[in-house]
Chain A
Amino acid sequence: MAAEGQQHPLKVYYMVWLLLFIVSFFSYMVDYLHLQGALRWTLILVFMFVKAGFIVAIFMHMQWERLALKIAILGPPVAILVLIWLMSLEGIHVEDSRLEYYGESTMVPETPHH
């Protein structure tokens, strides 16, 4: 068993810390600059996965763990992709049914003002 656990140079943590700040700033800019469509969604997902990856790999030390632990923890969440796929099909079906039986929405939303 590990006698002294996870010890790494502080420089690694400072680098990741800085990187998380920069990437978060970029993802905020996606909204601030009103990017739309495929570009917006691609950038949101890319920045999200970069941040999540560095947090898990470095801050949570996953990259230094043995492969058995990596597989046990990071493997099962892949099943969520199936759930996302099924629930998006379900969502589309429900929306189509609503449009067919209830027609288009007549709601007139207010604009938020602060």
Chain B
Amino acid sequence: MSEAVANDAMEAGGTQGVVDDWSRDKQVFGVPWGKAMMWIFLLSDTFIFSCFLVGYMSVRIATTDPWPLPSEVFALTMFGHSIPLVLIAIMTFILITSSGTMALAVNMGYRKDRNKTFWLMVATAVLGASFVGMQAFEWTKLISEGVRPWGNPFGAAQFGSSFFMITGFHGMHVSAGVIYLLVIAFRVRNGFYEKRGGNYEIVEITGLYWHFVDLVWVFIFAFFYLW
């Protein structure tokens, strides 16, 4: 990969750079404060999701009842065949697609191409909203089949509480992300950031949040749906 460290070209890299960054009389992180704060928020969010996933692991180990098979529980009958996990797979691909459009939006933001940035962010938000819609469909289907936070007909009672807690909290993050994206996208379009020196770092910060939501889904997909 290219050494595209445009900033701090004068400063040392590696471990000497770490010492310099922390010990000099200057900002520690050579990034805008908004970006550092978003990273720290995401770090705390990492711990929240980790607690949910570790809690899920713990109850799944501890139960003596058989764990419901996600492959069967989340199967859908399409075109006369029962396809395992098909909706979850579609949701995964939608979220990856939205991550791609977001990455392009960040790039276009730094190129100050406001029109493309706007439309790429709107596309990301639309994909995110469709993800939430499919999640609502999934919840409706499971609830109609008798899955509850306190029990279900397919096996261990803890399945329902883990499922609703983990996917619900993730879905809430996606919904918040859609709103966040739309707010920033419309501000990009109406020239809000032009009045502030044409600085489009905010698009990258929004992107960090959105990629994080995708990142969490990677772990949920692996541990909850595939395991």
Which residues of chain A have a CB within 8 Å of any CB of chain B?
1-8, 10, 12-13, 16-17, 20-21, 24, 27-28, 30-32, 34, 40-41, 44-45, 47-48, 51-52, 55-56, 58-61, 63-69, 71-73, 76-77, 80, 83-84, 87-88, 90-92, 94-95, 98-99, 102, 104-105, 107, 109-112, 114
Query: Is B6 in contact with chain A by the CB < 8 A criterion?
Result: yes
A55 and B36 contact, Cβ closer than 8 Å, known pairs A10-B104, A41-B227, A98-B62 = no
Determine the main DSSP class of A at the interface with B: helix
How many B residues are at the interface, by size bracket?
35 or more
Could you tell me if B36 and A69 are in contact, using CB atoms closer than 8 angstroms? yes
B46-99 contacts to A (CB < 8 Å):
46-47, 50-51, 54-55, 57-66, 68, 71-73, 75-77, 82, 84-85, 89, 92-93, 96, 99
Query: Is B32 in contact with chain A by the CB < 8 A criterion?
Result: yes
How far, in angstroms, from A12 to B1 measured CA to CA in the complex?
Answer: 9
How far, in angstroms, from A91 to B61 measured CA to CA in the complex?
Answer: 5
Query: Is B215 in contact with chain A by the CB < 8 A criterion?
Result: yes
CB < 8 Å: which of A4, A51, A112 contacts B145? A112
Tell me which residues across on chain B come within 8 A of A112, comparing CB atoms: 68, 72-73, 75, 145, 154
How far, in angstroms, from A12 to B107 measured CA to CA in the complex?
Answer: 11
Determine the main DSSP class of B at the interface with A: helix
5 new A-B contacts at CB < 8 Å, known A5-B110, A31-B226, A95-B64: A6-B110, A27-B221, A94-B61, A98-B62, A112-B154
